[in-house]
Amino acid sequence: MDARTAMLILGAVVTSAAGQLLLKSGAQQPAAHGPMAFLLAAARDGRVLAGIIAWGISAVCWLYVLRVAPLSRAYLLSSLTYVLVPLAGVHLFGESLRRPHVVGMVLILLGVACLLSGE
């Protein structure tokens, strides 16, 4: 895999994770009562809009990756979002990780390392 493709995969992973974190942040703020009021308040929140934009950027990066890289390799690298998002959730939102979550994240990292070592 060439450096440009690897950077696009990394860009897709990072912007996808950023989108999740922005959506979480925006979803916590609206103090609206009822589902429709909540959705309207969320739609006006800059973090929610930025999260949706980040997802869009991630999708554009991913489309290019799908054009030039084998899906079997590229898709496995996208699993890094399952490591980045929980770690960021701990630091940004004070969430906690239980031991099974940490073990799962370590296994994902080992799998990615195995994939990259076979290149």
The model's pTM: 0.86
At 33 the pLDDT is 77
At 30 the pLDDT is 62
Q: In terms of residue numbers, what domain contains 46?
A: 3-117
* Residue 67 in tokens: 């054009």
Range with the lowest mean pLDDT among 12-16, 23-27, 84-88? 23-27
The string of pLDDT tens digits covering residues 77-96 is: 899 999 999 999 999 999 99
pLDDT of 31 over the 90 cut: no
Q: Provide the number of structural domains found in the chain.
A: 1
Give how far Cα 70 sits from Cα of 1, 63, 64, 74, 77, Å.
9, 12, 11, 6, 11
* DSSP category for residue 95: -
Burial pattern 95-111, b for ≥16 Cβ within 10 A else e, equals eeeeeeeeeebeebeee
Instruction: State the CB neighbour count (10 A cutoff) for residue 45.
Output: 18
